Amino acid sequence: MKEMSRIVKIVTNFIYGFIIIFGFYIIAHGHLTPGGGFQGGAVVASAFALLLISYGQMKAKKFLNINIFSLLESCGLTMFIVVAFLGLGTTFFYNFLANSGSWFGNMVIPGINPGDMNTAGVLPLMNIAVGLEVFAGLGIIVLLMADGAEYTKKKENAENDR
């Protein structure tokens, strides 16, 4: 994919930071506001897609490195399973942090309230793990599809020239 015009690149440089921060907001507040690991990860991955389109596939490969994404994805997945294993004292996915006073352990106030971030025990950890995995995974998918599109474009150009 060729690069976009200069205007798009400037706007992208400005915007993509906020998109990523918004994505992390959705991941972190998954247990309070609508959203969670997958939705937040998708928003962050849309920032990568934006970078890919505006800078074209060749340039984007320099700062969107597939190996880092794959490493991030494995770390996210392993974190998810390790958090589930930690609950093995009682049962597999046991929420050992809920109402325990330590991390994310406050009591939940019933009724209508804006909600306290420090509640719901293991759930925020799971959301972060899934968010990490999803935005790395979708990042890889977007980059690989860009490579695929690049290959088929080169093939078509070659056929048209012949």
Q: Which positions lie near other proteins, rule CB under 8 A?
A: 34, 36, 38, 42, 67, 70-71, 73-75, 77-78, 81-82, 84-85, 87-95, 108-112, 138, 141, 144-145, 148-149, 151-152, 155
The nearest distance, CB 10 to other proteins, in angstroms, is: 31
Q: Which is nearer to other proteins, 3 or 95 (CB)?
A: 95
Backbone angles phi, psi at 74, to 5 degrees: -65, -40
Contact status, residue 83 vs residue 103, Cβ threshold 8 Å: no
Q: Which is nearer to other proteins, 11 or 81 (CB)?
A: 81
Angle between helix 122-161 and helix 66-86 axes, rounded to 10 deg: 150
Q: Which is nearer to other proteins, 28 or 42 (CB)?
A: 42
The nearest distance, CB 21 to other proteins, in angstroms, is: 23
DSSP string, 27-92: HHTTTTSS--HHHHHHHHHHHHHHHHHHHHHHHHHHHS-HHHHHHHHHHHHHHHHHHHHHGGGTST
The nearest distance, CB 110 to other proteins, in angstroms, is: 5
Backbone angles phi, psi at 51, to 5 degrees: -60, -40
The nearest distance, CB 11 to other proteins, in angstroms, is: 27
Q: Which is nearer to other proteins, 8 or 75 (CB)?
A: 75
The nearest distance, CB 65 to other proteins, in angstroms, is: 13
Chain-centre distance of CA 35, in angstroms? 12
Radius of gyration of the chain (CA): 20
Q: Which is nearer to other proteins, 35 or 55 (CB)?
A: 35
